[in-house]
A and B are shown apart, each in its own frame.
Chain A
């Protein structure tokens, strides 16, 4: 076993671009009397470097379109990075073939946002849960598979007797429990949860979050938790990475980030959370909208909306620098202007 401080998952300078110009013929344009090939890209992720330590829950927050789900899909091998590397326990995994990935898929499982879409409506719950177990443990006997299904169903609080039912017979919260059971069925080490509670009601969200925390304790799991809900992050995360337009602007321990947010975007994001408390910090207003990832702004991607912008921010891309145990990508913080 490697020592405990070595990261379980490492994301190294990840870039992901999606072409939006269609196929080869669509890209041919007639320009200035000549045929030219023009391609346009959505720059979904631009140089993300993160590591996930064993046993922690790393939360990734950001607004829609900032690339948090794309990071998740690249890590899980559902997308291939345009540049950069993904490492699992020190081994590079992003360029492996499907067959070579198999042992990693067993250790890394994913929970998706919408349990209405992620469960096959034509399979009973037993079938849904047995499939991954059989696939990853071909030598297991029928009884061993069934015992495992009963065990995971009990661990997520679903009566094993309901295994003969289909997913449409369950409520949203129960379906999400079943998707969690499916992820746990192959005894993974690492779980990627992509907005696992966003589709659920408040009273059910608490149930599912508790379940995820119990599973983490009982099975010594490591989570990467993608969400836009900051109050959940405050509760659940060991560390938080805040993303904006395909880049990480701040990484810090959860308590530090919520107590003293450093990046101007983090500050604005935290001040925007609706609180029950009447005495909350005043809302920092951001002007304008998130720019499109097709034509990225020069320099810092946040400079168009930042209240602390100067000339350097418009020209030079800020790098993540270590500040008080966390990382911040901001020229103003580096220069001590804020």
Chain B
């Protein structure tokens, strides 16, 4: 049985102009210890997906359809009290900006002990010992002093290490990391990604890494899911997605990277931009930007087609419209 399975998930936001569907027909599974990358442009729904897994969607948004099954419990229908035993305990989340996620008026130690006390009946001394151990695991220099420091005394990279240590406190099965290194510099980013990768491997923790950086996904994850306008459009082994992308959008996204072109040459751009969620056209949402669009793309939303070990939502790969690859 997979650790997590998401079935036909749909998330809507009730706005004044009417309901906006942020996620549609999301289906995927995640095995124990597996590392999954979620990529897409801003507004594609990657973060909403991360939040909806632990049912953190707040009003006016709601999960309107589908289920999120963790082990054998459906998180989508649980109330907050039940969810509390899962959130932070079995499924932990790392957010983009560590300055926003840490409480500025509590010491690092106080925040870590608070988190432990919320889930376990242990003494303060025991909790501090666990906290210290986790700080050592994330390779923070002089961890004993850090426990009594406030977040503002630490640098961005250091804060993100603290956030990772907090996420590890209760030995979760799954960590959802939403753009964990976007706010950091490239040398710090490399250290933090190395750290996340090592910790996930050592403790057999599953990772769902939400990012827009294909390079990071290529280095850290085993499987990748590409999102566009609220849907999954391609999913499969990371190396396969990167070197043999099937969906025209994924293909375009990878080809648009500067490293895919000879220096100084024109980059392979994708024309246009992603439609806003309020005005998704009929048929395939990518159609207007796609250079391989055919008649059926105008009317019918493509479903996920299985192509060996890759799933792709594109009419070009449905059996009746089989077009030679490339």
Q: Give chain A's interface residues, CB within 8 Å of chain B.
A: 63-64, 171, 173-174, 201-207, 209-210, 213, 228, 230-232, 234-236, 254-255, 268-269, 271-278, 283, 285-286, 289-290
10 closest Cβ pairs, A-B complex? A274-B215, A235-B258, A272-B190, A63-B185, A206-B256, A206-B269, A201-B41, A206-B267, A203-B270, A207-B269
Q: Which residues of A contact B188 (CB under 8 A)?
A: 63
B273–A173 touching, CB < 8 Å: yes
Partner of B259, one of A234, A272, A289: A234
Name 12 interchain pairs, CB-CB below 8 A, sorted by A: A63-B186, A63-B187, A171-B273, A201-B212, A203-B253, A204-B41, A207-B270, A228-B186, A232-B258, A235-B267, A236-B258, A274-B218
B257–A276 touching, CB < 8 Å: yes
Q: Is B158 an interface residue (CB 8 A)?
A: yes
Interchain CA distance A203-B257 in the complex, whole Å = 8
Q: Which residues of A contact B267 (CB under 8 A)?
A: 206, 209-210, 235
Chain A nearest CB from B259 CB (Å) reads: 5
Interchain CA distance A2-B162 in the complex, whole Å = 57
Q: Which residues of A contact B256 (CB under 8 A)?
A: 202-203, 205-206
Interchain CA distance A240-B9 in the complex, whole Å = 47
Interchain CA distance A269-B269 in the complex, whole Å = 27
Chain A nearest CB from B43 CB (Å) reads: 9
Q: Given A274-B219, A276-B218, are A202 and B257 also a contact pair (CB < 8 Å)?
A: yes
Q: What 0/1 readout, one digit per residue, does chain B (147-184) give for beta carbons within 8 Å of chain A?
A: 00000000101100000000000000000000000000
Q: Give chain B's interface residues, CB within 8 Å of chain A.
A: 41-42, 155, 157-158, 185-191, 193-194, 212-216, 218-219, 239, 242, 252-254, 256-261, 263-264, 266-271, 273-274
Q: Given A63-B186, A234-B259, are A274 and B216 also a contact pair (CB < 8 Å)?
A: yes
A276–B258 touching, CB < 8 Å: no
B157–A203 touching, CB < 8 Å: no
A286–B185 touching, CB < 8 Å: no
Interchain CA distance A286-B266 in the complex, whole Å = 34
Interchain CA distance A99-B186 in the complex, whole Å = 41
Q: Which residues of B contact A269 (CB under 8 A)?
A: 186-187
Chain B nearest CB from A174 CB (Å) reads: 8
Q: Which residues of B contact A275 (CB under 8 A)?
A: 215, 218-219, 259
B257–A231 touching, CB < 8 Å: yes
Interchain CA distance A274-B269 in the complex, whole Å = 21
Q: Which residues of A contact B242 (CB under 8 A)?
A: 276
Q: Which residues of B contact A201 (CB under 8 A)?
A: 41-42, 212, 273-274
Chain B nearest CB from A108 CB (Å) reads: 24
Of A205, A206, A210, A230, most buried by chain B (CB within 10 Å of CB) is A206
Q: Which residues of A contact B190 (CB under 8 A)?
A: 271-272, 274, 283
Q: Which residues of B contact A276 (CB under 8 A)?
A: 214-215, 218, 242, 254, 257, 259-260
A286–B186 touching, CB < 8 Å: no
B266–A272 touching, CB < 8 Å: no
Q: Which residues of B contact A171 (CB under 8 A)?
A: 273
Nearest residue (CB) in A for B39 is A202
Q: Given A230-B186, A274-B218, A274-B219, are A254 and B263 also a contact pair (CB < 8 Å)?
A: yes
Q: Given A272-B186, A274-B219, are A210 and B266 also a contact pair (CB < 8 Å)?
A: yes
Q: Which residues of A contact B212 (CB under 8 A)?
A: 201-202
Q: Given A206-B268, A254-B263, are A273 and B239 also a contact pair (CB < 8 Å)?
A: no
Chain A nearest CB from B224 CB (Å) reads: 11
Q: Which residues of B contact A234 (CB under 8 A)?
A: 258-259, 263
Of A202, A277, A289, A290, most buried by chain B (CB within 10 Å of CB) is A202
Chain A nearest CB from B205 CB (Å) reads: 21
Q: A206-B269, A232-B258 are in contact. List 18 more A-B contacts (CB 8 A).
A: A63-B187, A64-B185, A201-B274, A202-B212, A206-B257, A207-B270, A228-B185, A228-B186, A231-B259, A235-B259, A236-B258, A273-B215, A275-B219, A276-B215, A276-B254, A277-B218, A285-B194, A289-B157
B41–A202 touching, CB < 8 Å: yes
Nearest residue (CB) in B for A287 is B141
Nearest residue (CB) in B for A207 is B269
B264–A235 touching, CB < 8 Å: yes
Interchain CA distance A51-B73 in the complex, whole Å = 64
